[in-house]
Amino acid sequence: MNLKQTAHAIIVVALLFALFGCISPQEKKNSGSELQNPVSNLISQDSIPVLGQLEKNISSVPVVQNSTINVSENSEKKFYGNEGLKIITDDTYSFMISDDDGDIRTVCERPCNVPRSTLIAKHKGMTAAVNKLKKLLSVDFAGGVKPIKVHLASDATCGNATDESTGFYLISSGSDYGTVHICTFDYEKKNRILPFNEEHAIRIQDQLLFIHEAAHVMFYKRTIVSYEIQEQFVKAISFHISGNWDGNGTGDSNFKSVSTACDQSIFSFAKAPFLLCKYYGFDFNDYGSIFLLIDKEFGKTTKPIIDSKFKNYISDVVGKDTSDAWKAHQE
């Protein structure tokens, strides 16, 4: 007898008992709750989460009390509906959170110490940041890159966090060959500006490191632009999207909007973008034009764009030779 037949049999038997008065009123009440999900009688209670406890009730991530659970036949995976999110647990991950956009999967390998509500809030914050990144650059991640797995704590994939840990992305060479992983160590990190909890994890100001690494991934496959050049542009982009902390409080007003690459505050870590803006007016609203030119060329040849081509595209967009800015950048 298969799972569906067994479940139907349980329903029929329970209804017959109720019909002939063989179940007391209290027992009828209890059996009624079981009959709402007869499959639960065939699976250990430890393998099924309590629906009302899928996450803590936080203002930005409301609880979904009537989520549905579809249990696979081998009971090794559970799928929880949550405001458009799919939360999977299996032998590798305590939680793997994804959504309809399909850009990222927020994962927490077993054993997971990060609260589920914080994971959900962070996933939503990172998703919002990715959408801003794609809008800014006018392109999506290169083909075959998505979904990107984002790890917020030490695990077998990212290794153990240290006091000096910042973040990085890596390309898997294991059983999930080619998968892009972003490692942030948010759970262990001591030098975070904002506390790592559900209140702050959803805020755009908390996505600085993640969007930095995601911007690097935007260069992946379509270019082989050097790290030295990439790093300056992804830093400028990440501060543009998340804001620049003023060193004081943690309110929104303490994160200054970097609305232009001509902002003096980025000079120390994004000298090339700053000089290109100052000399030629090449600003954030021009970055999308560069990536569209990259994709046009990459689509024709499938050869990643190199440094010289990247610089030429910037000259094409501003309509001037930009070599003076690049020379000044080296000084």
pLDDT in tens, 106-139: 999 999 999 999 999 999 999 999 999 999 999 9
Cα distances from 279 to residues 254, 315, 318, in angstroms, run 29, 12, 10
* pLDDT (average), residues 285-289: 98
Measure the CA–CA gap between 268 and 231, rounded to whole angstroms. Answer: 12
pLDDT of residue 26: 36
What radius of gyration do the chain's Cα atoms show?
25
| Better pLDDT: 190 or 206 | 206
The rounded percent of the chain whose pLDDT value lies above 90 is 65
Number of C-beta neighbours around residue 154 at 10 A: 18
Q: CA 70, CA 48: separation in Å to the nearest integer?
A: 10
As given in the structure block, the two tokens for residue 29 are 């009440």
- For the segment 48-66, the average pLDDT, to the nearest whole number, is 25
Residue owning tokens 């060329």: 297
Residue 15: pLDDT band by 50, 70, 90 thresholds? very low
pTM: 0.76
pLDDT tens-digit readout, 143-174: 999 999 999 999 999 999 988 888 999 999 87
In this structure, what token pair is assigned to residue 267?
């000079």
* Residue 256 pLDDT exceeds 60: yes
Other CB atoms closer than 10 Å to residue 227's CB: what's the count?
10
Cis check: omega of the bond before 111, within 30 degrees of 0 = yes
**Which one is predicted more confidently, 104 or 81?**
104
18 three-class SS: helix
Is a pLDDT exceeding 90 seen at residue 31? no
